[in-house]
């Protein structure tokens, strides 16, 4: 089974989990970056990133290489922004047709509530084989998250 984790991470939590999933599944990773960086300040980020998610913006991405035909499964990773997925994920999905692919999705948030995000994304794909929601995961919290990540990876392996 060949998998790729395609993710956007503003503050590192989603990236941390991407790396753990990649280790577990021997998967490739693709870290999406916006062509123009989001602002650094907390309030400015809340405003600009929140607005981009609410209005379904598709910010230009920095160049990347992605060939869906190389993979059995595409794992999407996103932080929750205003209840939804991060705007750069919208850009990626618009540019890359992975609708017919097997897809798994994980989301990182402050609250653990990723329901709306999962529902929105599930409509875009033929088959979502696994989802998992994590609360601001990082090295310190990983002891609590590891069982969730392992179950997510196992579900993916079983459904390929």
Ligand X SMILES: Cc1cc2nc3c(=O)[nH]c(=O)nc-3n(C[C@H](O)[C@H](O)[C@H](O)COP(=O)(O)O)c2cc1C
Query: What would the x/- binding string for ligand X be over residues 13 to 42, using CB under 6 A?
Result: xxx---------------------------
Q: Site for ligand X (CB under 6 A): how many residues? A: 22
Nearest CB to ligand X, comparing residues 49 and 121 = 49
Among 44, 64, 111, 124, binds ligand X (CB under 6 A): 111
Which residues in the 76-95 window bind ligand X by CB under 6 A?
Answer: 79-83
Which among 12-20, 23-31, 67-75, 94-102 is the span making contact with ligand X, rule CB under 6 A? 12-20
Nearest CB to ligand X, comparing residues 72 and 111 = 111
Is residue 10 within the footprint of ligand X (CB under 6 A)?
yes
| Distant-in-sequence contacts of 22-30, Cβ < 8 A, 24+ apart | 24/149, 24/150, 24/153, 25/1, 25/75, 25/153, 25/156, 25/157, 27/2, 27/3, 27/75, 28/2, 28/3, 28/4, 28/71, 29/4, 29/5, 30/4, 30/5, 30/6, 30/64, 30/65, 30/66
CB 129 within 8 A of CB 159: yes
Among 24, 29, 30, 50, binds ligand X (CB under 6 A): 50
List, in order, residues 6 or more apart from 47 with CB less than 8 Å away: none
Summarize as ranges the residues that interact with ligand X (CB under 6 A). Answer: 9-15, 45-46, 49-50, 79-83, 108-111, 113, 136
């Amino acid at each position: 089974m060949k998998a790729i984790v395609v993710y956007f991470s503003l503050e590192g939590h989603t990236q941390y989990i991407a790396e753990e999933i990649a280790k577990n599944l021997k998967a490739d990773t693709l870290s999406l970056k916006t062509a123009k960086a989001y602002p650094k300040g907390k309030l400015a980020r809340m405003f600009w990133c929140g607005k981009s998610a609410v209005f379904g913006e598709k910010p230009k991405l920095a160049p990347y290489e992605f060939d869906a035909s190389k993979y059995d499964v595409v794992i999407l990773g996103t932080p929750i922004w205003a209840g939804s997925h991060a705007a750069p994920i919208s850009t990626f999905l618009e540019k890359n047709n992975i609708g017919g692919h097997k897809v798994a999705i994980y989301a990182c948030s402050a609250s653990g509530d990723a329901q709306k995000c999962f529902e929105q994304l599930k409509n875009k794909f033929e088959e979502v084989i696994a989802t998992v929601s994590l609360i601001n995961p990082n090295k310190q919290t990983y002891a609590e998250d590891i069982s969730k990540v392992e179950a997510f990876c196992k579900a993916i392996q079983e459904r390929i």
